[in-house]
Amino acid sequence: MKYVMPLHALYYNGNRPYEFADGIHSIRKFSRFRVGAISYFFSRNDRFNMSDCRWALVLDSPEMNPINYKTFLGNTESIILAFKIFCNASLFVKYRICADDPLRHIRVNNAMMYWHELSNRRNRPELIERTRRRRWLNLDDFRRVDETHTKFTEMWNLSDRTHNAVNFAMNAYRSQLWRDSFIYYIFALEALFSSNQRRGMTGTIARRVSSFLDKADFCTEQDLRRLYDARSTIVHGKLPRAGLGGWDPNILATAQAEYIVAQTMRKMVNDDSFRNYELANKAHRFLNRFD
C-alpha cells in the first residue's frame, strides 16, 4: 500500500529522491498529474493547492493494509515533527493521496503549519529569528531528520509522560491560534518535568527545565516562571482581551515556549535521555537531578 503526501512550503534544490533509512519513507518529486484518481476525492481548490508542491513524502510498505494503515500514517507525523524540532521547517502535509485506493484519500484538517507572525515585521527580535520557519532545506536537514524521527516514535510508545509530550508538541504546531499553541507547549514541558506535588509546581517546572537546558539563553528559571505564570493566567480564565500585553507580546511568548520545547526535545533525542522515562521510579530519579 502506498501514500503520497505533497509537502507544502518546502523548497529543495536537489534533484534526486531521498530514501529514509527505515526503507518505507522517501522524499520524491511530486506532480499531481502523475498520481491517478485524485479528482475523485479532492476539490478543485485542493488540486490547485497541490500544484504548488514540488516534493512529496512517500510512504510505501508491503506490510501496510486497510486495517493498519492509520498506524503507518501516524508514524509519518514523527517525520514532520522532526522537521519542525530540528530544522524549524515550514513544511507541512495537507493531503494524503492513496495510490492504491482513491476512497482512502485523506484531507488533513489540522496540519502542523503554525508559525509566529509579528505585526512589526521589520525589527525581528532574536527569539523570533531563532524560531523563524525555513522553507529552503538541504540534504543535511534530510539526514538529520532521518537520524532522529524514529526516536519520536519511540517516545510516543515509551511512557505516558513521553507520549503526552510528543502529542502536545504536535498539537502546538497544529494550532491556529497563539493561545492554543502556547498552552500546548507548556503542557509538553509539564508532561516531562512536573512532579506529583500539587504545590510549588511553577518553581518545580522552572527549576527543572532551566537546569536540564543548562540555563541557556531564553531558558533561564526566570524565563520559565514568567511563561508558567502566563499559562496560569490563561487556564484560570484571567486572560485580558489584549492577551499578554498585545499582539506582539503574545507571539513572543509563544515563540519562546516553542523554543524551549524544541531545545528540550533536541537534547532528549540527541543524548537519549528520554529513555529515563520508561519506568516511573527511573523517571523520578532522573528528574530529581534537576531539583
- With residue 260 as reference, give the H or E element that holds it: helix 247-270
- What are the residues whose beta carbons fall under 8 Å from the beta carbon of 92, sequence distance 6 or more? 7, 8, 9, 80, 111, 112, 113
Residue 7 has pLDDT above 70, yes or no: yes
| pTM for the structure as a whole | 0.92
Mean pLDDT of 233-247: 77
Three-class SS of residue 166?
Answer: helix
Taking only the tens place, the pLDDT of each residue in 149-159 is 999 999 999 99
254 contacts 173 by C-beta, under 8 angstroms? no
- With residue 95 as reference, give the H or E element that holds it: strand 95-98
Residues 162, 164, 169, 171, Cα dihedral to 10°: 160
Between 33 and 30, where is the model more confident?
Answer: 30
pLDDT at residue 101 in the model: 83
CA angle 85, 90, 93 (to 5 degrees): 95
pLDDT at residue 32 in the model: 64
Residue type, 275: R
Q: How far apart are CA 40 and CA 88, in angstroms?
A: 34
| pLDDT tier at 118, thresholds 50, 70, 90 | confident
What burial class does residue 74 get, using C-beta atoms within 10 Å of its C-beta: 0-12 exposed, 13-18 middle, 19+ buried? exposed
pLDDT at residue 36 in the model: 53
Which letter does DSSP use for residue 42 in this model?
A: S
60 contacts 5 by C-beta, under 8 angstroms? no
pLDDT at residue 120 in the model: 64
| pLDDT tier at 99, thresholds 50, 70, 90 | confident
